[in-house]
Structure 1
Amino acid sequence: MSIYRTIGIIGAMAEELELLHRHAQMESETVKAGLVFYRGTLHGMNIIAVKSGVGKVNAAVCTQALIDLGAECILFTGVAGAVDSSLTIGDIVVSTACVQHDMDVTALGFAPGAIPYQEISVFPADEELRSLAVRASRDAVNGRVLEGVVLSGDQFIASRDKVQSLRDVFQGACAEMEGAAVAQVAHMNGIPYVVIRSMSDQADGSAHMNFAEFTVLAAGQSYAVIEGMVRSLQQA
């Protein structure tokens, strides 16, 4: 029996949760903070699934509401732009940690990404969930699966210069717009989490050309990983 009675599953966009809704047995809906939370079961496990919306504020509100509704761990799935130069479209990043790359109080002497007067600014993912995510990802995709730091900011990265800066400053694996907010709220509540991101673009000047096309591919991969993780948790 799993140590988690209820698994929280977050996606930032509708495409990311469409397959989950299609295959899980959804039983009820709860509206909280303008978000719709779907309760149901997948492989016999209780789940609560929600679309967070885009950006860190949406993700933070969503995560706290999900925890308040009873989620005991959080799996956050979606798409991201590759920052690590070894990654290509279709590869997967499993978070070792998350950090806000646009948190910048360097003018007051803080390191890039540091949240002033807070004990921690880089939020590590749960090791067991990471291990399950890596295994499920390798089963789900033919591409590379990389564990690395997920960088979050309220901006869509589409500049080669910005990508290089994120590599140099944060040694990040990928860039997106929600993961660090989910991670911080989970940490503040003592809830284990992991972020799983499929690379839908390369976060450079070509992003505006290929993002929409590869969102469908990445969303399918995201569901396959979540499905594999839930199955493993059910057997744990």
Structure 2
Amino acid sequence: MKKIGIIGAMQEEIDSLIKILENRKEQNLNHLTFYEGVYNNVELIVVRCGVGKVNAAVCTQLLIDKYNPDYIINIGVAGSVSDDVNICDIVVSTHLVEHDFDCTAFGYKKGVIPRLDDSEFKADEYLLELSRKSQTSLANKIRFFEGVIVSGDIFVSSKEIKDELKKLHKAMCTEMEGASIAHVCYLNNKPFLVIRSMSDKADGKAPDNFEQFVIESAENSRTFIQEMIANM
């Protein structure tokens, strides 16, 4: 039986996935609650990591050490950096970069981690292909994009930072966890994918109904992942 670990930063982002789990059980480890169950003959482990790169990295390593999933998928909301990507659109990662990692004083480009073979963490091709096959059920109401997702411990809310992220990394969107999850997966040779729904334009202006949007986004992510599982 295939095993997939699914990580969200906020409880609202994972609640709809928890509801579809059969034979569900919970385990609390290091202040994290892991929800285990089965859907469509695939074992799922769903967990809320909390906001930020350290929380996400710790959660990912614990998920790998304890459950050893075949694949890891990160879901949640993000801010659009690309002019083409609008609120409610979904970006599926091709690569991820920690945009706030800065060793430019030593001649490195922003986002490059010294003495690491690769600082642009590449999403798994099999999961990417699955995502392409699984967009049909949502294609009538949501636009999908593929591209670079950048992460940092900062809520991007200025045009200057957006422009820098586009110029340096060709980023499509920005958030606070995905690249650190990808980093841990890279070090563990674990296939991963990040799926993000746009909640804002990274300009400091979240929608008035942000909480409702997060719930709707989570429902879309659940449907998307259900389609991916069906296509496995």
Q: TM-score, normalised by structure 2?
A: 0.93
**CA gap 1:5/1:122 in 2 versus in 1, 3 angstroms:** same
Matching of residues 183-198 of structure 1 within 5 Å: 183-198=182-197
Unmatched 5+ residue regions in structure 1?
A: none
Of 210-219 and 114-123, deviating more is 210-219
- 1:54-65 matches, within 5 Å, as 54-65=51-62
Q: How does 1:213-224 map to 2 (within 5 A)?
A: 213-224=212-223
Q: Which runs of 4+ in 1 moved over 6 A?
A: none
- Distance in 2 (alpha carbons) for counterparts of 1:56 and 1:105: 18
Is the Cα contact below 8 Å between 1:175 and 1:203 reproduced in 2? Answer: yes
Matched residue count: 230
1:1-236 to 2 correspondences below 5 Å: 5-68=2-65, 69-141=67-139, 142-207=141-206, 209=208, 211-233=210-232
Task: Show CA shifts across 1:57-110 (max 9, x none).
Answer: 111011111111221110111110111110111111000010000001101111
Question: Is contact 1:56-1:178 (8 Å) kept?
Answer: yes
The answer to whether the 8 Å contact 1:16/1:223 transfers is no
SS in 2 for 1:23: coil
After alignment, is 192-201 or 64-73 more displaced?
64-73
Alpha-carbon spacing, 1:50–1:26, altered in 2? closer, same or farther (3 Å): farther
SS of 1:9's partner is strand
Q: Partners in 2 of 1:207 and 1:162 — Cα distance? A: 17
Is this contact kept in 2: 1:83–1:175, CA < 8 A? yes
